[in-house]
């Protein structure tokens, strides 16, 4: 069996597309291109350019396509949050004559990558004792907080996308309670994403600057209008005490939240920390505060020590997961009459 398929990871800043060839049980990346999303008025414009460039390299039209998109997919359609793009799988099938197209949530794609990531794509924070076919969970702070469960069904893991980044923040000590009150006054509802995200780092930093300024014993100049990379620079390169404390608090809350998800799903086969933030602060995550907070579940602390915890270091995890789903779609397509017809056409020497 052989055929071409494409995968994509689509966000407000960048869109990454791949064309792959499935031949002899192996998938090979034949072409990849990155696009600045905001330079295009629609996803169709991006895909049209990509397919034209792939064709110029001798790559045949795809038989399946899967695109990971940030946000909830409803009836195979989505309006992207940070782009003026409307995407619909059926419309893309018709416009580009692709037999089967699927849209999936970006963290659903990350979850799908877990089964095929290489060992050096992961950094283990806690080895634990994995249970074969046990539940897994993938989560990650980036622009927001993404979460997807993974359930073993029929010999493969099926992802269950969620919006668990919007559940309530649960403070566990007095400082976190004060952070909660501070954010409640600003936002009303305080979700986990208000803290565990790039914007969340800014929220923690602003809160701690206010706390610092209120202290009678400590003096620290006020810093206005910081972004997450600046806070990182202040903490790791300049030793700024408030920025350093920002990451301490961020990591403690991150660990506790990951532990809550692991406990809620009884994720005996692993917790996978992905997203844009974790790889950039891997040294901080390895210091121990993350796992300490992860395990700190009272009577269930011993159980939490048995759950494997890994950090996903591969920045293309979403693209890899989308490719896995597109490959599965290709195999399913080949088993049907329409797929068999298209595969016969593809494999006909007269069409090459």
Distances from the Cα of 71 to the Cαs of 2, 74, 216, in angstroms? 32, 10, 44
Amino acid 350: pLDDT: 42
Our measurement of the distance from residue 68's CA atom to the centroid of its chain's CA atoms, rounded to an integer in Å, reads: 10
Instruction: Round to whole Å and give the CA distance between 285 and 306.
Output: 18
Amino acid 226: pLDDT: 84
pLDDT in tens, 243-272: 999 999 999 999 999 999 999 999 999 999
Amino acid 126: pLDDT: 98
pTM higher than 0.75 for the full model? Answer: yes
What is the residue whose two structure tokens read 């403070």? 171
How sure is the predictor about 104, in pLDDT bands with cuts at 50, 70 and 90? very high
Whether 320 shows a pLDDT value over 50: the answer reads yes
Spatial contact of 107 and 140, defined as CB atoms under 8 Å apart? yes
The H-assigned helical ranges of the chain are 43-56, 89-96, 106-113, 174-187, 198-214, 228-236, 241-265, 282-285, 289-295, 301-304, 317-335, 337-347
For the chain, the first-to-last Cα distance in angstroms comes to 16
Right CATH for 164-312 from 3.20.20.80, 3.40.50.300, 3.40.367.20, 2.60.40.420: 3.40.367.20
pLDDT in tens, 170-180: 999 999 999 99
Whether 155 shows a pLDDT value over 60: the answer reads yes
Whether 149 shows a pLDDT value over 90: the answer reads yes
pLDDT in tens, 282-307: 999 999 999 999 999 999 999 999 99
Whether 281 shows a pLDDT value over 90: the answer reads yes
pLDDT in tens, 2-11: 789 999 999 8
How sure is the predictor about 30, in pLDDT bands with cuts at 50, 70 and 90? very high
Amino acid 336: pLDDT: 72
For the domain covering 2-112+316-351, report its CATH number. Answer: 3.30.420.40
Tell me the average pLDDT of the chain: 90
Instruction: Round to whole Å and give the CA distance between 326 and 104.
Output: 11
Beta-carbon neighbour count of residue 93 at 10 Å? Answer: 17
Contacts of 215 (CB under 8 A, 6+ apart): none
- Minimum mean pLDDT range among 156-165, 178-187, 305-314: 156-165
pLDDT in tens, 43-96: 999 999 999 999 999 999 999 999 999 878 889 999 887 788 999 999 999 999
Beta-carbon neighbour count of residue 216 at 10 Å? Answer: 5
Amino acid 221: pLDDT: 57
Whether 340 shows a pLDDT value over 50: the answer reads no
Amino acid 15: pLDDT: 94
3-state secondary structure of 4: strand
Instruction: Round to whole Å and give the CA distance between 51 and 71.
Output: 25
Whether 133 shows a pLDDT value over 50: the answer reads yes
Spatial contact of 307 and 267, defined as CB atoms under 8 Å apart? yes
- Minimum mean pLDDT range among 18-27, 114-123, 304-313: 18-27
What single-letter DSSP state applies at residue 61? P
What is the residue whose two structure tokens read 């400082």? 175
3-state secondary structure of 108: helix
Whether 214 shows a pLDDT value over 70: the answer reads no
How sure is the predictor about 222, in pLDDT bands with cuts at 50, 70 and 90? low
Whether 123 shows a pLDDT value over 60: the answer reads yes
Whether 337 shows a pLDDT value over 50: the answer reads no
- Minimum mean pLDDT range among 9-23, 201-215, 243-257, 296-310: 201-215
> Closest by alpha carbon to 314, among 144, 157, 117?
117
Amino acid 215: pLDDT: 56
How sure is the predictor about 25, in pLDDT bands with cuts at 50, 70 and 90? confident
Strand 2-10 with 14-23, pairing = antiparallel
What is the token pair recorded at 246?
A: 């920002």
Amino acid 12: pLDDT: 78
Spatial contact of 18 and 8, defined as CB atoms under 8 Å apart? yes
Where do the domains of the chain lie? 2-112+316-351, 164-312
């Amino acid at each position: 069996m052989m055929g071409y398929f494409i995968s994509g990871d689509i966000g407000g800043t960048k869109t990454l597309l791949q064309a792959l060839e499935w031949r002899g049980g192996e998938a090979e990346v034949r072409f990849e291109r990155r696009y600045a999303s905001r330079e295009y008025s629609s996803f169709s414009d991006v895909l049209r350019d990509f397919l034209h460039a792939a064709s110029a390299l001798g790559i045949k039209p795809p038989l399946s396509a899967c695109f990971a998109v940030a946000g909830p997919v409803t009836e195979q359609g989505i309006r992207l949050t940070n782009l003026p793009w409307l995407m619909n799988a059926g419309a893309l099938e018709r416009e580009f004559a692709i037999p089967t197209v699927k849209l999936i949530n970006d963290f659903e794609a990350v979850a799908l990558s877990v089964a095929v990531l290489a060992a050096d794509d992961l950094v283990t924070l806690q080895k634990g004792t994995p249970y074969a076919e046990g539940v897994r969970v993938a989560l990650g702070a980036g622009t927001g907080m993404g979460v997807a469960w993974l359930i073993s069904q029929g010999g493969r893991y099926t992802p269950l996308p969620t919006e668990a980044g919007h559940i309530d923040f649960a403070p566990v000590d007095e400082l976190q309670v004060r952070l909660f009150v501070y954010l409640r006054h600003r936002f009303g509802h305080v979700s986990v994403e208000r803290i565990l995200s790039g914007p969340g780092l800014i929220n923690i930093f602003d809160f701690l600057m206010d706390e610092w300024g209120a202290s009678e014993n400590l003096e620290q100049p006020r810093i206005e209008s910081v972004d997450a990379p600046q806070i990182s620079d202040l903490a790791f390169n300049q030793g700024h005490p408030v920025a350093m404390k920002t990451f301490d608090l961020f990591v403690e809350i991150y660990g506790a939240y990951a532990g809550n998800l692991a406990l809620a799903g009884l994720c005996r086969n692993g917790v996978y920390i992905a997203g844009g933030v974790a790889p950039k602060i891997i040294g901080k995550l390895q210091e121990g505060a993350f796992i300490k907070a992860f395990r700190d579940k009272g009577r269930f602390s011993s159980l939490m020590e048995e759950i494997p915890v890994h950090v996903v270091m591969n920045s293309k995890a979403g693209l890899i997961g989308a490719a896995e789903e597109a490959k599965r779609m290709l195999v399913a397509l080949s088993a049907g009459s329409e797929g068999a017809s298209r595969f016969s056409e593809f494999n006909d020497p007269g069409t090459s």
